[in-house]
Amino acid sequence: MKIQKFEDLPIWKESIFLTKEIYILTSKGKFSKDFGLRDQIRRAVVSISSNIVEGFEKSNNNELIRFLRISKGSTGEVRNQLYIALEIEYLSKDEFDEMNSKFDSLGKQIGSFVCYLEKQRKDGNFVNK
């Protein structure tokens, strides 16, 4: 399947799904009242999909790789904030484990896509539009 628009990217679809999950999770209990941590994790999760889109829309594979790396970094930022939320008991261990696993997986998917794009560049199949 040829990817013609950012909505075709599986990593974008997954990032949107996980954004919704974070918003739901941070709307409950103590988490909802900690405006600093709640807003920070929400900004970080929104950054994941936003950077995927921004890189894709630049129509330049070098820029796409750059923005995907930023997006991958944001998955790590979300995971760090999940650890904080666990430590201060805003999340149960089960909630943490589920979300941490999902963001770890997304980060790996983004990393794999970056590796694929870099291999295309190395093999001369890289397109700079």
Residue that has been written with the tokens 């970094």 in this structure: 73
Report yes or no on 2 lying in a domain: no
DSSP tag of 60? B
Report yes or no on 4 lying in a domain: no
Report yes or no on 3 lying in a domain: no
**Distance between CA atoms of residues 80 and 86, nearest Å:** 10
Q: Is 59 helix (H, G, I), strand (E, B) or coil?
A: coil
Report yes or no on 51 lying in a domain: yes
Our count of domains for the chain comes to: 1
- Give the residue numbers spanning the domain of 45: 10-122
Local confidence pLDDT in tens for the 129 residues of the chain: 688 999 999 999 999 999 999 999 999 999 999 999 999 999 999 999 999 999 999 988 899 999 999 999 999 999 999 999 999 999 999 999 999 999 999 999 999 999 999 998 777 665 544
User: What CATH number does residue 92 fall under?
Assistant: 1.20.1440.60
Report yes or no on 75 lying in a domain: yes
Torsion of Cα atoms, 70 then 76 then 77 then 80, to 10°:
-170
Report yes or no on 1 lying in a domain: no
Q: What is the pTM of this model?
A: 0.92
DSSP tag of 90? S
- For 53, 87, 122, the CA distances from 26, given in Å and listed in that order, are 24, 15, 42
